[in-house]
Structure 1
């Protein structure tokens, strides 16, 4: 382990832990393919199943095997899975979805393609909420003393997916970049429809197993092996531990394309390294090449909320998470407080896992941590650009 890098990383994590940004965190860093840092801080939960505070001396420490809810970092595995179907000829990036999905055969939806979905340029809204009122109605009929919902009360996945596919566009395809969980879950519905194979099996067989990630990344996790996320009161779910935080993914049985995977820091770092090393069309080209100029028109390559470009899956150059050396870095964030980034030029990959939504999504948070962590790693490894480091770090949006 590189002592200088570890000291820099630990100082940042300890500071945020003390401020209440999370109860636990894990970081893994590699340089030129060699893991130089693996460290963990904090505990898996600061409140128990009743929402009561856990004493500092009674908390379960985060360890190297601890699982975190990856949230939207799941989209990278989802993109790889979808693109494997493109590689094998089952799907086409530029074929209108309506060729295979009847719900996309009318109006502006006739123009939507898989490439639109994977680059968040389809015109779909950010989220699909068709599950929300039925869930609230279900809760209204439950006894007041009923235990927390351990699993989704909806058992008809096909009906849920049909509702998702009826989601109207918020704008014309290719008109705007709009980050959309609904878009990735639509890609999932397309993949399941074409193959007849459940999403979890597709991701396992086409991404996790071939990339050697199956032992470290999976949908859901044993509660005792996981950090807790939110203590949910609105939807009657109680303390979420080993169960996906994202409500839409939960409604889909915890198996979504927008969220659902849990993993260790080492597993997430291995995914980052697979992307850095590349090889083959999917990792070497499709998940690396910039796309927004093509999708939105020349000159709009970074026409996104925080000025980043996008490939078929990863974000490109999101400086507020990737740091001041991040213009050519690929990666993704997750709402629960996770992120992955990798840099082919510098040979650096970073996996950050926290539970910043514990016990509430409205807590202290991790504002600025991702970018500062990246800066610290680049400086400590001697791979920072001195000119880039003179610039102010853009504010963190998550």
Structure 2
């Protein structure tokens, strides 16, 4: 446990942790004897990731090696179940601009069916450092970034009703729901559309209408409830105000400027050999899903949705993480202003303990952030087995990408691996 950082969290407010120029007198005393030092400003915007050894930035390599072994072991059959926890994984750990650990284990394509019958070795595809993963709900971060770009452009105000921008969203009593409430999952909307989009509607226009017609289950602002509908709606808002499809906006304003060349919705067929397989689906009858989005609702929307659909690699996600640590810039490309990034990493859900949330980013979630968790630690997970943890105070990040739903979603939780991976970096400090 990072006792120094937790002491800082106990004696300083969130704003003091995030606003440049905050006093460091107390924290300097709290961190006496520690290898790393807390940071109260973003990393220099010209910080570019480079490979290095843990010792180059004062880290103990032993916890990192132990985490590597843990991840590798989880790709091997467990004696109790006869199957691994996940088919394969790619992980990156970075501190102060230096990638101190990269691990690759298991297979990107390993199974033939939902029962877990392994393919012949010649037909299996091993994981590699640049394997492309279905990022699932980490897509929500890209949608949130696109929304905040519109805020910077003066096209969106966070506390105005969504219906001001999407009049049809006002249906079924939603006229007072704000943009901020969608970003923080306090809108009052249900978790998912019911019936699911692929089951209940004949085409994409009717499915989009079903999302916008969704009724409230709680009064806006009274309850935290994680909801895919929130980010689906924000994806539609981005499209309406930009005049471009969401995938085009994300490409033109986020991934292309940052040089994230393997990050996109609906990846092209020529990259299929690098894409990790996900689930064998019988209902809907899709067979082994590979190269198409796993999430059924995103699939029913053509693979592009505000809540799911992005594919990416660990190296590309490392660039995004460092851009956040740099205050919204990387290699000369700025996607957001520093004050906007700071706003995204501020907890607006203090009324809902345990559900700390910025604008799109989850905050302080120990179940996957492990010992890196603190009031300003930001990140997100994806149902397919992905996770991203960004710690501004130590200028560090942890990325673990797995295809844990390959060949089935029923092999259990991988949260212990997520936590172990992130905690290793904290322990190394």
Q: What TM-score range do you get, normalising by the shorter chain?
A: 0.7 to 0.9
The whole-number CA distance in structure 1 between the counterparts of 2:405 and 2:182 is 27
SS in 2 for 1:75: helix
Cα distance change on mapping 1:105 and 1:48 into 2, 3 Å = closer
Q: How far 1:367 sits from its partner (Å)?
A: 3.6
Q: How far 1:220 sits from its partner (Å)?
A: 2.9
Q: 232, 239, 247: which is aligned to 1:200?
A: 247
Q: 61, 64, 68: which is aligned to 1:10?
A: 68
The whole-number CA distance in structure 2 between the counterparts of 1:77 and 1:31 is 23
Cα distance change on mapping 1:157 and 1:57 into 2, 3 Å = closer
The whole-number CA distance in structure 2 between the counterparts of 1:75 and 1:277 is 20
Q: How far 1:49 sits from its partner (Å)?
A: 7.3
Instruction: Compute the TM-score of the two structures, normalised by the length of structure 2.
Output: 0.77
Q: How far 1:291 sits from its partner (Å)?
A: 1.0
Q: 2:392: which partner in 1?
A: 344
| 1:275/1:283 contact within 8 Å kept | no
The whole-number CA distance in structure 2 between the counterparts of 1:321 and 1:264 is 19
Q: How far 1:50 sits from its partner (Å)?
A: 9.5
Q: 2:358: which partner in 1?
A: 311
| 1:25/1:62 contact within 8 Å kept | yes
| 2:92/2:398 contact within 8 Å kept | yes
The whole-number CA distance in structure 1 between the counterparts of 2:63 and 2:371 is 17
The whole-number CA distance in structure 2 between the counterparts of 1:4 and 1:216 is 32
| 1:5/1:37 contact within 8 Å kept | no
Query: Any stretches of 5+ residues in structure 2 without a counterpart?
Result: 1-52, 55-60, 79-83, 329-336
| 2:377/2:390 contact within 8 Å kept | yes
Q: 250, 269, 290: which is aligned to 2:347?
A: 290
SS in 1 for 2:410: coil
Matches within 5 A, 1:17-166: 17-18=75-76, 19=78, 20-48=84-112, 52-56=117-121, 58-105=123-170, 108-130=173-195, 131-134=197-200, 156-166=203-213
Higher alpha-carbon deviation: 95-104 or 159-168 = 95-104
Q: How far 1:103 sits from its partner (Å)?
A: 2.5
Q: How far 1:65 sits from its partner (Å)?
A: 1.6
SS in 1 for 2:74: helix
Cα distance change on mapping 1:66 and 1:283 into 2, 3 Å = farther
Cα distance change on mapping 1:209 and 1:34 into 2, 3 Å = same
Deviations 1:333-383 (A, max 9, x none): 11111000111112210111001111000014414111121112221x2x2
SS in 2 for 1:241: coil
Q: How many equivalent residue pairs?
A: 351
Cα distance change on mapping 1:181 and 1:226 into 2, 3 Å = same
| 1:336/1:356 contact within 8 Å kept | yes
Q: 2:284: which partner in 1?
A: 235
Q: How far 1:107 sits from its partner (Å)?
A: 6.0
Does 1:216 pair with 2:262? yes
Q: How far 1:286 sits from its partner (Å)?
A: 2.3
| 2:224/2:352 contact within 8 Å kept | no
Cα distance change on mapping 1:284 and 1:79 into 2, 3 Å = same
SS in 2 for 1:309: coil
Deviations 1:119-175 (A, max 9, x none): 10100100113424347xxxxxxxxxxxxxxxxxx6x53332112100001111001
Deviations 1:283-310 (A, max 9, x none): 53222111113xxxxxx252xxxx1410
Q: How far 1:74 sits from its partner (Å)?
A: 1.0
Deviations 1:69-109 (A, max 9, x none): 10111111110011101110122211112223223336641
Greater than 6 Å deviation, 4+ residue runs: none
Query: Any stretches of 5+ residues in structure 1 without a counterpart?
Result: 136-153, 294-299, 384-398
Q: 2:217: which partner in 1?
A: 170
| 2:292/2:303 contact within 8 Å kept | yes
The whole-number CA distance in structure 2 between the counterparts of 1:196 and 1:111 is 24
Instruction: Compute the TM-score of the two structures, normalised by the length of structure 1.
Output: 0.83
